[in-house]
Amino acid sequence: MPVDVTFDDTFSGLLRYYYRKKHVKQRILTLPLSLDFGNIKTANIVRTRASFLEELSRNTHGYSVKEEIQKIRDNLSFLEVLIESGTSFRIWWTNKAADYCGFIWLCDRLKTVENEVEQIKVPTLFPRENQTLLEINEGLSGLSCDLIDEFKLFERQQKLSASIRRDYSYMWQELQEENQPIRVLINDHLLSQPVTFYDKFIYQQTSKTDFTELDRLLGKIVLHYGVGILEGWYWYRIEKLIDEEKLEAKQSKIPMKQLIRLRK
């Protein structure tokens, strides 16, 4: 059996549960790299992820960047061991930016190896037998064990040849060269964007007259626009916009209760 590789922590847990239900022993490698955000210029992926997560989580309580980076470091080391041992891989991904970036990064890493590699690209829109459509906005994290079977996802498995991996690796190299802070999919094309790309969603949920509590503001943004986007990114950008005097804030002893509005 090939080792399953996923870039989604939630889906990794679901997949483990799925295999337990089926009484199947299976190895799963989780690489939650969030490569759709932050610096990707250097080859040291651990260093760039550490820098990004530290910046993103400076206001987040109960979250250990050190533990998260250690998990990434351990899993990347395990990946190298698996490659050296000739292990075959099965990569799960979607057209969500984090998955897509992770996929082409891994294709770049696997472009010259002899390991067998397969992929399961999961669509986010499924036609059902009752002639309705089911949209999985959250990507892989929106799946369930029943949906894995209902949509026969394992039948979507395809071989990923060395030449195809090499073609995908060119996309990763282009993104590295551009090295913009954000990467998004627009009309199925993976594009680099400036750091301000998602700021419009923050502005659309704030006003010049009324203050909104930060936790409520974040909730509104995520509800309307945030599927597949790190909530911490919006908090990070709100803090930056306050520093740039584009947003006005009334501080509170509880950070999530500070009041935010557009600066007049």
- The pLDDT, as a whole number, for residue 136 is 86
Q: pLDDT tens-digit profile of 193-216?
A: 999 999 999 999 999 999 999 999
Residues 65, 29 share a domain: yes
Say how many domains are in the chain: 2
In a domain, 66, yes or no: yes
For 239, counting Cβ atoms within 10 Å of its Cβ (0-12 exposed, 13-18 middle, 19+ buried), the class is middle
Q: Which residue's entry shows tokens 């309705």? A: 132
- The pLDDT, as a whole number, for residue 5 is 98
**The domain containing residue 146 runs over which residues?**
3-178
Name the pLDDT band for 59 (thresholds 50, 70, 90).
low
Least confident of 76-85, 124-133, 151-160, 212-221: 124-133
- The pLDDT, as a whole number, for residue 60 is 62
Residues 230, 154 share a domain: no
Name the pLDDT band for 46 (thresholds 50, 70, 90).
very high
Residues 222, 114 share a domain: no
In a domain, 170, yes or no: yes
Residues 203, 170 share a domain: no
CATH number of domain containing 232 = 1.10.10.10
- Whether residue 165 is predicted with pLDDT greater than 80 in this model: the reply is yes
Average pLDDT, the chain: 92
- The pLDDT, as a whole number, for residue 43 is 78
- The pLDDT, as a whole number, for residue 129 is 80
Instruction: Give the end of a domain, one of 178, 212, 240.
Output: 178
Residues 224, 172 share a domain: no
Residues 143, 49 share a domain: yes
Residues 213, 157 share a domain: no
Distances (CA, A) of 48 to 52, 53, 64, 183: 6, 9, 16, 15
Residues 143, 48 share a domain: yes
Least confident of 57-61, 114-118, 121-125, 208-212: 57-61
Mode of pairing for the β-strands spanning 182-186 and 212-213:
unpaired
